């Protein structure tokens, strides 16, 4: 079974040693993704952060041959439960009609204090 990976340019990919996404056969796992723009900036709005995370992850999924309709599971990590509605609405916009299994967790902190969210997903591509 072949294994391919996608990179996003995150500085953590080389230092920590991970890929943005990995495809083995028809299964794709997309790593925890933070809301960072190419210049390293991070918008403070949790909904904007959520959209940016999904944008990065779905681009990696597409690079490996998948699409939003192939997503079967998502995980959303929040540092503030007050952001749940805003982040959840973005999830609903992105996955309207797909409705993957999903988990939303509140965590004590994320790697960068500017990040209010971090997301990950799993997908299964059709044969």
Under CATH, which number does the domain 3-124 receive? Answer: 3.30.1330.40
pLDDT at position 9 is: 73
Whether pLDDT at 102 is above 80: yes
Say whether 60 sits in a helix, a strand or coil: helix
Q: For the segment 22-81, what is each residue's pLDDT rounded down to a tens digit? A: 999 999 999 999 999 989 899 999 999 999 999 999 999 999 999 999 999 999 999 999
pLDDT of amino acid 15 = 81
Show me where the domains of the chain are located: 3-124
Of the candidates 29, 19, 104, 23, the residue with the CA atom closest to the CA atom of residue 72: 29
């Amino acid at each position: 079974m072949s294994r391919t990976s996608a990179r996003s340019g995150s500085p953590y990919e080389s230092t920590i040693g991970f890929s943005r996404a990995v495809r083995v056969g028809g299964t794709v796992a997309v790593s925890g993704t933070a809301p960072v723009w190419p210049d390293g900036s991070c918008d403070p709005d949790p909904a904007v952060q959520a959209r940016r995370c999904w944008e990065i992850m779905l681009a990696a999924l597409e690079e490996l041959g998948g699409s939003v309709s192939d997503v079967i599971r998502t995980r959303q990590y929040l540092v503030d439960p007050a952001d749940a509605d805003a982040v959840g609405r973005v999830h609903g916009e992105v996955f309207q009609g797909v409705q993957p299994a999903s988990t939303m967790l509140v965590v004590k902190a994320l790697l960068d204090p500017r990040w209010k969210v971090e997301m990950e997903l799993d997908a299964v591509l059709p044969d």
